[in-house]
Structure 1
Amino acid sequence: MHQGNQTSISEFLLLGLSNKPEQQKLLFVLFLGMYLVTVVGNGLIILAIGLDSYLHTPMYLFLANLSFADISSISTSVPKMLMNIQTKSQSISYESCITQMYFSVVFVVIDNFLLGVMAYNRFAAICHPLNYTTIMEPRLCILLTVIPWVLSNLVALTHTLLLLRLVFCDSNALPHFFCDLSPLLKLSFSDTMINELVLFVLGLSVITFPFALILFSYVCIVRAVLRLSSTEGMWKAFSTCGSHLTVVLLFYGTIVGVYFFPSSTDPDNRDKIGAVLFTVVTPMMNPFIYSLRNKDMKGVLAKFIHSKKWFCL
């Protein structure tokens, strides 16, 4: 990384969500609870899908990947935040900060791509039910799983390489609870125009292409469902999309609410709110949405929890 030539600081200070000492215990308990709920909830989904052959379908393959990404996303930021609160230390090394930034980008981007892939899977299942197994063949499923991970790492690598060329001097205090890309750019003494341009272009592409795929898929799904003569058939078709559509609305609703309709708060607080929603709240909500709205998942989870496998674990 040529740190000696690029920066005169060896660590950053994470100022966290609040500088009031009396709020630290509350933040520790709150985020520890959300972290445990997220890990256990998504972990159960991964275990249930892995152990029950009935769920070895493309839809649940993508869901398992989403759950793994959610566990990884919250694990990138929250454990370090909890450790800093517990030890009353705000420091994070330069290398650890860059690494944390890299993986935080990877897992937010992968969530976005996987939502697009899952929408396409719903489109194939509802609009082409007779050809579904032919369309979603194992080779395509593997491809649709691998490509989002590759693209996400390429996006993160691009931001990381551009960040490593920046100079950080004197001020090393990040007004955030983890090393997010935007606060790091604001802290640099270098010209960040290229970084901000790449951030805008890649960010717009990462949001636009999956959202366009989701929009196309659901327009086709609605048109196909409305052609059904049976009301029961229409309701069943729509209900199979309920979980995914709820997660999509939560994910993109957060983007719109935080970044397109900002409140009167300053940009630093807005970035913190967005980061908490993306890296903590959304990963925590996904298991509840998919398990509570999915009969198959509820049945498998109930059977798994009451089985001997659960007690052995």
Structure 2
Amino acid sequence: MSDYLEQARTYIDNLPPIGKAAVAGGAGFVIYLHYKWLSSRPRRSPYIQDFEKDLVYLCQFPRSNAVPNLSPFCLKLETWLRIADIKYKNVENFPVTYRSKEGTLPFIELNGVEYPDSGLAIRDLANVLQKQSLEAHLNEEQRSTAVAFEHLVEQSLWPAFLKFREQHVDELVALQPQLFGPLNKLYRLIARSLITSNTETKLFHNGIGKHSDENIIRISEEDLFALSQFLNTRHYLLGFKATKLDAAAFGVLAQIVYLPFDTPQKKYIETKCPNLKEYCDRIKNRYWPDWDEATKKFSMKSDWKRKPHSPGSIYNGSTTKSINGGSIINGGSIKNA
């Protein structure tokens, strides 16, 4: 089978551009129909019939071997569940054959009730599971700032980065070998055309895809600079305590920082905003101690254990200072003791 696929790939690579387009279009159409049939079939609701009371079930894309999920929204939701210390269980979805009632991933089920969309699921679960105390320390100005920065990372920075991430199609497909199950090898033959076309359509409707590459890079650099300046030397974006804003920011920034290829955004972080890399490492080390197991073994286990902060110390830039050393974090801002 592998020899046949390699011969097919060689044959396709030798075709003229119009031939490649025809093959990609035909194969993509066949795979799309098959996938659409699988994913749009009427499914039972709730999806988890024999659910455990008060256990959160997280439905998302399969793991990848660079970051736990190539979807920033899936990574955001799972990271928030860990920040909120909510007991949850990942639901196997190999290959991806089901989505929420809205047709999206991720979504959550709790006691037979579905909560679609990462942002809405976080909002609703915080109320249902009484996790409002996670952000009780924030004042109204900080809450408003959090909304603005969440929109910045998800509606501006993410599509700007997506433009350049999807140029590494072969690497991306290789990072997620379980995405389409037995169809994955066939999918890799036409992935370049299929993903490129799909991405361009998304970015065009978003609006950012209408700009030149130079302007898109500039937009993303402005977003990263704003994040970096706002973070400054804080432990998390709003202080010493992680919030849903950190889950959202990490969901996007982790894609930039940890994917194993260069992009303009990754180079900008490395040269101009190193505190964003340190910030990602901090969240990864604290809330993803099982990172290697998730990315190397594709483990969907959720029985992780949070790493505690070092006692008697706070983070300040790239160094850690003692509380007696003169700085503390109070209400999300840094003040002298």
TM-score > 0.5, shorter chain as reference? no
Q: Which structure is higher in RCO with an 8 Å CA cutoff and minimum separation 6?
A: 1
TM-score normalised over the length of structure 1:
0.29
Give the number of the structure whose residues are more often strand, by fraction. 2
Please, what TM-score do these two structures have when normalized by structure 2?
Answer: 0.27
Structure with a larger share of its residues in helix: 1
